[in-house]
Structure 1
């Protein structure tokens, strides 16, 4: 568990523990904070929510393991369920772990596994000046931006994996069984990734639109925010959330494009396998035709009835010359037609 609290005078002294940050939020009504909690720390989440006045329904909404990705508002609390993706290039397996976010006027609370808690906490500490300047929107932007960056990084790794598989096809040979299995796992991982990038586009676009509405309303005769989204995101987060939405859109397009590439690769691999099979069958047919000629002649000579040249050296020489001539003629003809 980790967190950090601040007010108008700067960051408050704390030991970075969630308990200490919660205490600062309780004792200083002007303070704000970000908190990272492991998903199993439900008691700590309940205590933090009590201090911050976060609706119990919002908490229930993010604790389900299979909760779909979404962006929602419950009273004045933003509820977002994201996915942190990682890709194992060795096995071709994609992992998508839930990252649940609660953002209110005084705090951003993130629930995820401990490893990602530490990574996200490091990101927010590095963005301390921006958080002091812009407050909760900057902390929320840091979390969403980091999750989108993880998707982009996974796409780059998957592109390299697909490129290596594609290079095999340029060797003019179909994929071997191990390569086919790996390609299937990458294709399955891409299908899984698209189930992340598609809702991520909507989430990022929803945040950008809310920030845009707040900025647009500020320039009108009635600058007061009309909903909780505008009130929470404020005026100075338009560019940041628009940038995240743009990155999420590009990530979704890249995932779609990569899926098309690997589908084309599958089709090309099947076509190469068919061509390879046809080539093998053509060569086998050509050699079978060549072997059939001496078989026919020797079979004729093996009859147990007299024929011209029967049981004579002349008959043997004639049959041998005819056999060699027919074989060579057929061989040259098939060779010219690239059948053997």
Structure 2
């Protein structure tokens, strides 16, 4: 039987220390999408590298990329044993709209046994979990049964535009036998789960221009010239049909269908569609016909509009056909 009493005692004794260290990291607003936070992003990387060294890693560096820096750490004290590389990210999403936060996003707060702050579960919390597990083993048992490497990037929330280049330039440094990623949800608190795949991401912006002479009065020219906002809304509406199927030609050409065994595994999970709709605050779940909600969320590709803007944005109204 695997003996874990020593690890449990260590975790109990050091829980508050780990929580305080996580809270200190969460207070750094490492928003990668906004250039105004560039210094904070670097400060978050340097803070993490210092913590990794304090926990006993043999190396922890802030390495440069073509964008925000990448944190690399390692403990290679088990020669001849396998090497696991833990991937994570320390950058976070923007925090707007602020009025929807129950507490300031960069002032960590514990409520009902849960820690709330931007990055607490995406992905600083998971990264700290791995570091603290490493420290627990090293400090109680003086060694580990495997080697560990950590690569923690600072641009995941903007699509990792420079990560491929970083990996290519550090191929030997990052060599490993297995990669562990803890940046995905679990099915539920009482159903152990292992994420085996995630969906990729492609994004783009579409610009539709109106009158070249500038905004025109909608009372004078409405009905005589095209409104670019109406045109854009029409484009977005046509991306899916009434059954949730994406209408872009060729979109599904290389999508592999689920095997019967895969569908059976998904169907065996205790998923309550009505309860999930209620949790999300929607009248019902909706999507591509012929697939269950879990199949659509976990397997099928999707196409969604993340934002749309144009025309007058101020208070009140303005009678224009926007340029």
State the TM-score bracket (shorter-chain normalisation): under 0.3
**TM-score using structure 1 length:** 0.23
- Larger Rg over CA atoms: 1
Q: Which has the higher contact order (CA 8 A, sep 6+)?
A: 2
